Chain A
Amino acid sequence: MSPDSEQHELNEKTIRALAQLADGSLGPEETAELEARAAHSFILRTALERQRAGAAALRGLDLQAGPSLRERIAAETAPAPRRTRRRRLALSSALAGAVAAVALAAVLIVTSGGAGLTVTETAQLADRSATGAVAVDPSNPRLLAANVEGVPFPNWSREFGWREAGIRSDELGGRTAQTVFYEKGTRRVAYTIVSGKGISAPAGSAPARSKGVDVHSLADGGRRTVTWWRDGRTCVLSSADVGDRQLIKLATWKGDGAVPF
């Protein structure tokens, strides 16, 4: 059989019909017609056999999600009382504070460059719980296997003894905010990277420069927060257990160039 005749027999319409015939989704009339043609054509018969083999191999892939992923998804999908309560509280707070929010809106727009989401709001993610585990990047032990728009989280365990304890992802103001929680003994810090354009530091935050990185620190209740940019993305490091100096040291660690800024 010449290439020309093969091309003629396996035109686009036939190819689509063969794909359907192989998985049983072709209508009965078309099936009968194509099977009759295949009975007289070696090319069509071979193509159909290969389609059936391919479909069977792909449909027979025996892969199941592991228990860790199931737990993580269950945490997301279950109507957990704590989550519900938090939402209700948030709604109540939102209603109660609506007037105040309107009054503050103009101030927030000025201090956050009009971006909507603020560093202070982002820092509050430190109060939430991790929803999943995070691993060390197998190709680079100074990084974790998690990133936001290509900006990876650092692995501080070897250098500072801070071990990654979990991760969560949130949508804030139309942006993705991913937070990794690190722990050292009983102390804990939350490192959040926010997608999209960098968010301006809050008015009243204290600027500083360390290892060539511009950082801003601020206090929010009993929590200290440091914010800076990496590759144009906003990073927020927040903790109720650690002071500014230690936060800035962690924030500006470059891991001998392994941590991109």
Chain B
Amino acid sequence: MLVQGDGRRLDPETAGDHIDTLFRAACALCGSRQLAEDLVQETYVKVLARPRFLRRDDDLGYLIKALRNVWYSHLRGERTRRAATDSAEQAPDELPMPTSAGDPHSSLEASAVLDALAELPQPYREAVAAVDVAGLSYAEAASALGVRQGTIMSRVYRGREQVVQAVG
């Protein structure tokens, strides 16, 4: 266990600098702008609930890892809820994804890429969300996702390949 003195303390104020990157990664993971906002907020609430001490100078990697845990927690919750309410025919959660630019062409393109991301197997989606969308290095992504660096590279390759195939 990491204790105070073993590493640098995560600064809550600078952690807030990563909000856009985390939001993009959350969109890539879940495909819903509204849910992505909830996931990002939940990530910050969890991370800032108590002081965090990082081994490396890798705040974003730490936040991505926390975001991924929040996403998994959400998926588990959804499964439980759907099993409990037996509502298999619920409407999908995807919402329109306006971009910051508001350019219709750009919006369509982003929407197509996000649709393609949603079709990826979870490990590929996580890898491209971490490396291509959040901008982590392969080493940082490997650390955040708990797999080997070579595995991240393979998953990124296959994820990109399937996105290109889907977007055409």
> Interface residues, chain A, CB within 8 Å of chain B?
12, 15-16, 18-20, 22-23, 25, 47, 50-51, 53-55, 57-59, 61-66, 68-70, 72-74, 76-79, 131-132, 135, 138-140, 145-152, 168-171, 176, 231, 258, 260
Asked if A152 and B50 make an inter-chain contact with CB atoms under 8 angstroms apart, the answer reads: no
In the bound assembly, the distance between CA atoms of A140 and B161 in angstroms comes to: 37
Does more than half of chain A's interface fall in helix, strand or loop, or is it mixed? Answer: mixed
B79-103 interface mask toward A, CB cutoff 8 Å, 1 = contact, 0 = none? Answer: 1110011010011010001011100
> Interface residues, chain B, CB within 8 Å of chain A?
12-13, 15-16, 19-20, 23-24, 27-28, 33-34, 37-38, 40-42, 44-46, 48-50, 73, 76-81, 84-85, 87, 90-91, 93, 97, 99-101, 106, 109-110, 113-114, 117, 128, 131-133, 135, 137-138, 150, 153-154, 156-161, 163-164, 167
Residues of B within 8 A of A61 (CB): 24, 27-28, 110, 113-114, 133
Asked if B90 and A139 make an inter-chain contact with CB atoms under 8 angstroms apart, the answer reads: yes
Asked if A145 and B38 make an inter-chain contact with CB atoms under 8 angstroms apart, the answer reads: yes
Asked if B84 and A231 make an inter-chain contact with CB atoms under 8 angstroms apart, the answer reads: yes
Residues of A within 8 A of B42 (CB): 169
Q: A73-B44, A76-B48 are in contact. Are A12 and B154 (CB under 8 A)?
A: yes
Smallest Cβ-Cβ distance to A57: which chain B residue: B113
Residues of A within 8 A of B27 (CB): 61, 63
A15, A22, A65: the one contacting B23 at CB < 8 Å is A65
User: Min CB distance, B96 to chain A, in Å?
Assistant: 12
In the bound assembly, the distance between CA atoms of A19 and B132 in angstroms comes to: 11
Smallest Cβ-Cβ distance to B103: which chain A residue: A62
Residues of A within 8 A of B40 (CB): 65, 69, 73
User: Min CB distance, B40 to chain A, in Å?
Assistant: 6
Residues of A within 8 A of B79 (CB): 150
B16, B84, B153: the one contacting A19 at CB < 8 Å is B153
Asked if B128 and A16 make an inter-chain contact with CB atoms under 8 angstroms apart, the answer reads: no
In the bound assembly, the distance between CA atoms of A10 and B41 in angstroms comes to: 41
Residue of A15, A57, A70, A138 with most partner-chain B CB within 10 A: A57
Asked if A51 and B77 make an inter-chain contact with CB atoms under 8 angstroms apart, the answer reads: no
Asked if A58 and B113 make an inter-chain contact with CB atoms under 8 angstroms apart, the answer reads: yes
